[in-house]
A and B are shown apart, each in its own frame.
Chain A
Amino acid sequence: MPLVTAYHRPSTLDEALDLLSSPERVALGGGTTLNADREPSDLEAVDLQSLGLDAITDAGDGLVRIGATATLDAVRRCELLPDSLRELARLEQPSTLRTLATVGGLVARTSAESLLLAGLLAHDTRVELAGPAPDCSLAELFAAGLSRGSLITAVTVDPSGSTATARTGRTPADVPIVAAYGRRIEGFVAMALTGVGVHPVLVDVHDPTAGLEPAGDFRGSREYRLHLAGTLTARVMQELYP
């Protein structure tokens, strides 16, 4: 794990932002990423647990607001959210880590393999930020990255629509090599894929591999991932339009 040289637990957002303005300080959510990092590097941890950002609430207009320090386990349990997203939260981490891992940490990590991030992408998720950067869509955050000094405080999700998932992994609970998550609403389908870019991406359901340049690895070559992108997208479409 990294060598944490100092620990801070701010109690207000302003205090947190002030602490995070220094480059050696890193926001600490649940710790499942930061504390598991095997590359030793000195840093100071800014623990966000006392900021009151863990609520999941009805945000009106049919939207659900998930606080940044809400755990994946809280998402899994939340009845405001559709079963499909709750299941993705369950699949994202095993039982002993999802009780710690936070939604804010997940979003900040922008993992290419995160099925829950793909789900959030398909659900028109917007990201609330404190600090210099304005709120933005999840897709915009993926494109621009999280600017220094900014802090994810919540995400807002549109839970509506019918959904379907298809994925391929080595075993049933493996992190998928490629996965597709589709959300159908009012004749439109938002299709998000994992495992085909540096972060989950929204694709054109009619040409799902267009513009994709996946990096191959030992679990799946570039060609194989492109094949899966097409196959799994087609499966999701078939389920959405039986």
Chain B
Amino acid sequence: MTSDVTFELNGAPATVAVEPHHTLREALRRLGMFSVHYGSESGETGAAAILYDGRLASSDVILAASAHGHRVTTVESLNVSPELHPVQTAFVAVGAFQSGYSAGAMVLGTLALLDESPDPSEAEIRDMLSGILDRETAYVKPVEAVKRAAAVMRGEETEPFAPLVLEPLTDGYRPAPPGAGGKVPEAPQSVPRLVPSREVPDMAVVGKPEVKVDAVRLAKGNPAFTDDIEPRGMLYAKVLRSPHAHARILSIDDSKARAVDGVHAVLHYGNTPRVKYASGGQSWPNPHPYDQVSFDDRVRHVGDRVAAAAAETIEAAEEAVRLIEVTYEVLPAVFDERFAMDPDAPKVHDEDDTTHICDPQRNLVHHIAAKRGDVDGNLAAAPHSFEQTFRVHQVQQCPIEPHISMAWLDSDERMVVRTATQVPFHTRRMLAPLIDMEIKDIRVIKPRIGGGFGAKQEMLIEDIVAHLAIVTRRPVRLELDRAEEFYGSRTRHPQTITYRTAVDDDGTLLAQDMRIIGNTGPYGTHGFTVQIVSGLRGLTSYNAASKRFECHVVYTNIPVPGAYRGYGAPQAEFALEAHMEDIARALDLDPIEFKRRNWIKVGDEMDIAPHLGERAVAEEELDEYPKVMSSGIEECVAQGMREVDWDRRNDESWKAPADRPNIRRGLGFAFCMHGTAIPFLDMGGCSIKLNDDGSFNMLIGATDLGTGADTVIGQIAAEVLGVPLDDIKVYSSDTDMTPFDTGAYASSTTYISGTAALRAAEAVRERLKARAAMLLDVDEPCTIELRDRRAYAADGRSVTLEEIALDSLHWQEQEQIMGTASHVSPDCPPPFAAQFAEVEVDVDTGQVTVTKLVMAVDCGVAINPVTASGQVEGGMIQALGYAHCEEIVLDDGGRMVNPSFGPYKIYRADEMPDTVVYLVQTMEDSGPFGAKAVAEIPKDGVAPAVRNAILDATGVAINDLPFTPERVWAALQEAAG
């Protein structure tokens, strides 16, 4: 029953026809308020928060009918001119938006807060932000933005937001001398501490805290995300998901579903082609096995696809899937990787059309092995040997924007897929066989993405909307709800990891043996490569005479693991750094000194790397191994130790405060090493062309998830072309329009796509110089320099780039000045970091409170120190959730018991530890302007640093994640006997 609802919207009356069940969020989006985004039905993400009679409120849980007569304000109310409102400007100025999916809510919350409290305390600011879950920023820069906005609104002057530049404490190679450093530098925690390298020249655009190129669109809440356009005649899709962890589908009766008014199609195994594939968004050829089909007659986890319906309304689609009658033969299931290979374990894949499973009778998907040296001999002969087993659990990426795709056939009957993906080009290639179309007839458009973190490195739902679009010949949209996002998308792989390490009397490692049982759930997808990265990260950080990696990747019936930021490294580095800590304690060595003795240094070989990987040389010894060419780890350690006052580990009055007898304090450290892109595999392309006014269009296939990739790559091009960043108009990515790129993963974008941009810009620069030489009558174009939007001859004469553009496009010897380049790297330069954690442990309850996190990271040259520090802040807090409170919990039947925020706990603004980031520059010659990766390394060290801090505080070592109160309490009880 439709009725008209009228409310005041942004100062003017608005009337909208709604059904009784429609929410205010839905009504507002129908009224064109695209800043209001879906995050969940229950409103706790805050992505759909608006001002409701002047107070911040989630429109997800307000019935549209309830809003009748009320006053509703969205961020669009501020968009009265091209300029930003001062609050929007403040958020932009400090880099507070990453994906910007919840930008409108943050700006509105700030307006309401400042209206009531012009000079709010940090606690008030954090309380305001408590209802806006941010998976990206750790709230550090949003808090700073509110403070800045408050100051501006009070009429105060503000300084440009810039890093705090520090003097180094080391010579770059050796540890800091005793007593080095003095006082901890004072600055708000939002300000990145930058330790420059003398090897890095000063530049005009690179290395500067430039405002993001997409800042305006995000701050204004302009339509930018997948859901922010609606093709005419669009249908809504819904997926029927399995209630069973493992079952055979004996029959499906869809007659009642098809009879629902408005339903146009119902798809399932009975009417959809059976084409085998692997869903992981990876380079061709995808690693085997191809163990999935769009719709199967077998379900292998609770939440697995059974069928999908498309209808005129989402309600009709939901009704249709409810009415599909499915007869299941329920099969036994296995969830724990440690039991998956047992002879009597249920067989997850016994179909005969999946090949390349290592041993389907044992649920063994892959057996991965690599070795250097005589591990067994060294273990047997060593004076000290240690063995420990660690268990890491399953968590979800939790992008606030869930998976969403829409597909339609365009006027040429080509398939267009607009989708929230990190891998548009892989998706196009992988989709083609499933829908029986050629790659050339598919166009994948990646609009703005509301976070991905690896979950969207997957061809997850694009095949469903494409199938439905073909059948219905109508545009079809599918968005996962929050529960589906938890158990129907992708997660981090659980693992059981065992280390055996041999150590000489002087603390030198002799052998490291790492064994993993990796749980890839019911499908292979990223199961092979994630485990390889675990081996790579777990056996590269420290030098040892011999190393061995053995991994069994097994099928189970848990929700599907896939790519998640860090990609196998967080699991491995938790085990490794915990293991190394315990060895140091057992040998009565200082943990940092012990690790320093063994960690990999400049010039050392990364000797296991060539033996692991998609194109690895498994057995034979190589003549040459890749080497570490840059490392700032000593400076990172020195800065981090000073920041956390590391010597407090020896101060009993601090560790056991007299006025809080149940509290023990501790400090923990983890050495972190990651990779930068996949050598010989990751490839990015870039095309740049000159416009009439001397500006440039830059087309890149790289995929900005909110990371700032568009900005960083733009800065690289701007530096080469001698123009401000604003003269580079970045477009990414669209498979019809932009060059190929493997996508946003493997910490590759700045290094790979950035180098492609560098080379494309260099090609353009050569033509600009040639044209300038013509105009200036200079014989040698190589003497021309580009800067400040001009081309200068050696004698000081110059022409503007606009003059060159007009001349080249319109006047003489016309040409389109443009450059295209691509890049693939033979190198994988590792970023390094020192991660520190400070904790308080309540020894009576087991509650752990993390009070401070410090990461000092060597990411080479940070092209943009503000976006780089934002990556570190956000990554650390995701990692803290992994260590501390996040977990997917399944009941005995494999059903997730906590598929919503709250029960699945992610950190919110009013409970954050202090978070401080140091950027330690090194010059990595293989990277663009010296850059290495920064996006994933923040995920690696938090869990072991927290674990080691708990150990420091209590003397109790805990080898399973997460450190929930009961687990810690139980460990304390056990230790107490």
A interface residues with partner B (beta carbon < 8 Å): 1-7, 9, 28, 30-32, 35-36, 38, 40, 44-45, 47, 49, 73, 90, 93-100, 168-175, 177, 217-221, 224, 227-228, 231-232
Contacts and interface: CB of A to CB of B under 8 A. Distances in A.
A219 B964 contact: yes
B49 A96 contact: yes
B907 A96 contact: no
A231 B128 CA distance: 32
B131 A35 contact: no
B56 A169 contact: no
A73 B63 contact: no
Interface in B719-762: none
A188 to B, nearest CB: 26
Which range contains the number of B residues in contact with the other chain? Answer: 35 or more
B63 to A, nearest CB: 6
Interface string B53-74: 0011110111101101000000
Contacts of B129: 95
B905 A36 contact: no
Interface in B334-373: none
Nearest to A170: B885
Contacts of B55: 73, 99
Contacts of B131: 93-98
Contacts of B902: 175
A170 B884 contact: yes
Contact of A171 (B1, B65, B844, B907): B907
Contacts of A44: 20
A217 B887 CA distance: 13
A154 to B, nearest CB: 21
B894 to A, nearest CB: 14
Interface string B920-943: 000000000000000000000000
A77 to B, nearest CB: 10
B808 interface: no
B105 A96 contact: yes
B122 interface: no
Nearest to A216: B966
Interface string B896-908: 0110101001011
Contact of B61 (A35, A49, A174): A35
A227 B842 CA distance: 14
A192 B127 CA distance: 26
Interface in B7-47: 20-21, 23, 41-44, 46
Contact of B44 (A7, A47, A94): A94
Contacts of A231: 844-845
13 contacts: A7-B20, A28-B63, A31-B66, A35-B60, A45-B65, A94-B46, A95-B132, A96-B132, A97-B61, A100-B58, A170-B905, A171-B907, A177-B966
A218 B889 contact: yes
Nearest to A228: B845
Given A172-B911, A173-B908, A220-B966, A95 B61 contact: no
B23 A35 contact: yes
B170 interface: no
B1 A100 contact: no
Contacts of A90: 127
A1 B21 contact: yes
B58 to A, nearest CB: 4
Given A96-B57, A227-B969, A38 B21 contact: no
A2 B318 CA distance: 12
Nearest to A74: B55
A7 B911 CA distance: 38
Quick one: which of B46, B68, B130 has the most chain A CB within 10 A?
A: B130
A95 B845 contact: no
B61 A31 contact: yes
Contacts of B62: 31, 35, 100
A99 B57 contact: yes
B279 to A, nearest CB: 26
Contacts of A35: 23, 41, 43, 60-63
A96 B58 contact: yes
Interface string B291-324: 0000000000000000000000001001000100
B885 A45 contact: no
B666 interface: no
Contacts of B389: none
Contacts of B889: 218
Contact of B20 (A6, A40, A221): A6
B161 interface: no
B6 to A, nearest CB: 13
